[in-house]
Chains A and B, each alone.
Chain A
Amino acid sequence: MKRRRLLQAIAASPAAAPALLAQGPGSRLGQAGTAPARIATVPAGEAATPAPRFFSPIQLETLRKLAATLMPPLNGNPGAIEAGVPEFLDFLAGSSPAARQKLYRAGLDHLEAEAKRLHAKSFPSLEDGQIDAILKPMLAPWTYDPPADPRKHFLAAARADIRAATLNSREWAAAASSAPSRRRRGGGGTVGLYWLPIDPTRPA
């Protein structure tokens, strides 16, 4: 019998399973001073890179160019690219309700279509001035309601998300801690009290 099947058979036996799971009758685990040493770990984000899976390759490249334009490195702080924002937004949009997914995909597709229509080039390969000519007419100040035009809405949402994801990135925090004066100029580096799940229930 293979090991996994053996374990399944033991676990299915009401008498045997508790003995196996209890680390043996002589276990002193739980008594004072017997806890094993805490195992150190690193955040996954420090050990690996994200694998984007939501946007198409051209949408992701368009988002990279857009992020670099909207939030470049300033005042010695990292920009959106250095902060891994396009990859983070791929994760965020991919985890989001359909409305945000549609907003992002349609918005990025529109930028690419405009680049082709006006300059016969892909958006990521445009010059800065060409990008400005596409983006600036789409900008609109707003307070509570984002602009009704879906393209302006997309740019408003992307601009806010890219900025927040940059300011709240690990890279930004590292730069700010190495030069506190930068933190004052650019904001960001938020630290706060996080509420853990409070006595959560398990699904029925």
Chain B
Amino acid sequence: MGTALKTSRKLVVLGTTALTGVLVAGAAAWACVAGPTLLATPQVVGAGETVAISGISYNADLPVVVRFDALDGPVLGTFPVNQDTDALAGSVQIPADATPGNHVLVATQSSEDGDVAIIPTRALVSVAGPGGAPVLGAPLGESDANRPVGLVEAGSASTQALVLAGAGAAGVALFLAGAAVYFSTRRQPTPEKARP
């Protein structure tokens, strides 16, 4: 049993890997190039600590400026882009006075006149609280988990149940009344004929 499970798991992993390989090859050959991306590692850090940053698909002719929390936030570092791979690699120091919770690194590239030249990229970092414990900030992506399920119907289920119960009572009452009338008629003795 265990061996069969292991075998099937291996098959799934192998199949997934193979199919992914096919898809990657196909996509790499024909698909369009997506926009730039930015990643920060590790994602949980302490204030004043350093995180590694990396990214792809940048404009190789322009330096990347990494800021803290906003498009016009404090600059944490400026980095060149690899001319051959359009990739970004480096590290930045999180401000020592950063509050515990979630923060965003924002990477921008600007032209010589100072205007932003490529869509900004953002990477999440979570600054740990006292003692190095991770602190949750604002919910990521502001998950809205309290949505109503399904579509609103005209007439609720309880109304339907009431209608059904009422109709049922009426139907049964009609049945019983009819039966009572019928059987009482059957049992009623035939009036004796008038004798001369």
Are A and B a genuine interacting pair, yes or no? no
Which residues from chain A sit less than 8 Å from chain B, CB to CB?
A: none
Which residues from chain B sit less than 8 Å from chain A, CB to CB?
A: none
